[in-house]
Amino acid sequence: MFVKHGMNSGFSSLASSAVLRRQQFLIRSLKGYSVSDKIRMEAVKCLSGGASLEANAESVLRTITPSLDPTRHKGQAGKIAVIGGCREYTGAPYFAAISALKIGADLSHVFCTEGAATVIKSYSPELIVHPILEESYNISGVNDEGKRDISKKILSEFDKWMERFDCLVVGPGLGRDPFLLECVSKIMTRARQSNVPIVVDGDGLFLVTNSIELVSGYRLAVLTPNVNEYKRLVQKVLGCDVNDQNTHGELLSLSKQIGNVTILRKGKSDLISDGEKVQSVSIYGSTRRCGGQGDILSGSVAVFLFWARQCNSAAERESTISRTNPAVLGCIAGSALLRKAAALAFEHKKRSTLTTDIIEHLGQSLEAISLAS
């Protein structure tokens, strides 16, 4: 089911089995052993022991995806906020936000500049768009004190919404305007103070690479770098070039150095680490490399991270399974679902496959693994 590696793989496997048996015995002793318990135990099994490499992604997806329940109300399946969207880039924040809805989040917000807001709204009436961010060109005649006032106003406006969000996605279509990035760094700091998970992608990674303290030591932060973004992170944090001969060790070191922040290194196989172990998702996706797939991933990880936190909270109340890192679970689930949706889209569209085609297959791909009810 998954690859074992290293000198201690046999011992780790035995130890993991022993832990699994003890957890199963506890469940049977307390309240019987149901089908849902078995599914939960499969997820624990796929994450037990540092020797596991390939994650059992389908078990994770089945475990953390909530069934649709008529007693639940709007918002309980997730409220996601995307921080991004400027004059040049309007597609990326839309892709991230709409992907969150297509997977099953109830509400999806986009915080962007005024120049991007109308365009993003025109893509879909499903999104709640807030044109509160500012770029330098818009305030070029404002003095330093005036800029500080604008920054405070932006933060104050965002604070009105902060407590409603279950996860932030920072970076899709953000751009690299200095004033905008300064405001977003304050939003990230406020989110961290409020214990709101943060998924960082795109230009958000440019911001974090140059201000690593924004996420350092924050266990609810996820970084999703592509090959170039990862290279810059390694150079900045580890002070060396990427070592393709020690991929897993390097990723472990990078995560540890940033305080065990979860990193999803995108590639042929997606590698995921929180500094404790490295897991991979190697499900075949598509050979089509159209832009925007990383935005789908960031929106997906945000939803699954929130669902994993819900799952962990329920498990803790029931005292049935040990807690697992929800950031890691969210990355495994998001990576697997994107790959499955990309494969389905490519099957129909081949070379003409676009990001919008992949988004349309997210729901079908998740339903094939985890039934809605």
Task: Assign residue 275 a region (left: φ > 0; alpha: ψ between -120 and 50; beta: otherwise).
Answer: left
Q: Is residue 276 annotated as involved in ligand binding?
A: no
Q: Is residue 295 annotated as involved in ligand binding?
A: yes
Residue 127 is given by DSSP the state: S
Q: Is residue 285 annotated as involved in ligand binding?
A: yes
Closest by alpha carbon to 99, among 352, 337, 351, 321?
A: 337
Q: CB pairs under 8 A, 24+ apart, for 224-229?
A: 224/199, 224/200, 224/263, 224/264, 224/266, 224/294, 224/297, 224/298, 224/301, 224/331, 225/263, 225/264, 225/265, 225/266, 226/266, 226/294, 227/266, 227/267, 229/205
Q: Is residue 269 annotated as involved in ligand binding?
A: yes
Q: Is residue 339 annotated as involved in ligand binding?
A: no
Q: Is residue 87 annotated as involved in ligand binding?
A: no
Residues sharing a CB contact under 8 Å with residue 243, sequence separation 6 or more, in sequence order = 250
Q: Is residue 289 annotated as involved in ligand binding?
A: yes
Angle made by CA atoms 22, 27, 30, in degrees to the nearest 5: 120
Is the CB of residue 197 less than 8 Å from the CB of residue 305?
yes
Q: Is residue 275 annotated as involved in ligand binding?
A: no
Main-chain phi, psi angles of 346, to 5 degrees: -65, -35
Q: Is residue 232 annotated as involved in ligand binding?
A: yes
DSSP 71-106: T--TTTT-EEEEE---SS--HHHHHHHHHHHHHT-S
Q: Is residue 75 annotated as involved in ligand binding?
A: no
> What 3-state class would DSSP assign to 135?
coil
Q: Is residue 373 annotated as involved in ligand binding?
A: no
Residue 338 to residue 21: CA distance in whole angstroms? 33
Q: Is residue 230 annotated as involved in ligand binding?
A: yes
Residue 326 to residue 309: CA distance in whole angstroms? 5
Q: Is residue 363 annotated as involved in ligand binding?
A: no
Is the CB of residue 263 less than 8 Å from the CB of residue 237?
no
Q: Is residue 268 annotated as involved in ligand binding?
A: yes
Q: Is residue 227 annotated as involved in ligand binding?
A: yes
Q: Is residue 291 annotated as involved in ligand binding?
A: yes
Is the CB of residue 201 less than 8 Å from the CB of residue 298?
yes
Q: Is residue 173 annotated as involved in ligand binding?
A: yes
Q: Is residue 226 annotated as involved in ligand binding?
A: yes
Binding site feature residues for ATP: 266-270, 285-294
Binding site feature residues for (6S)-NADPHX: 173, 226-232, 295
Binding site feature residues: 173, 226-232, 266-270, 285-295
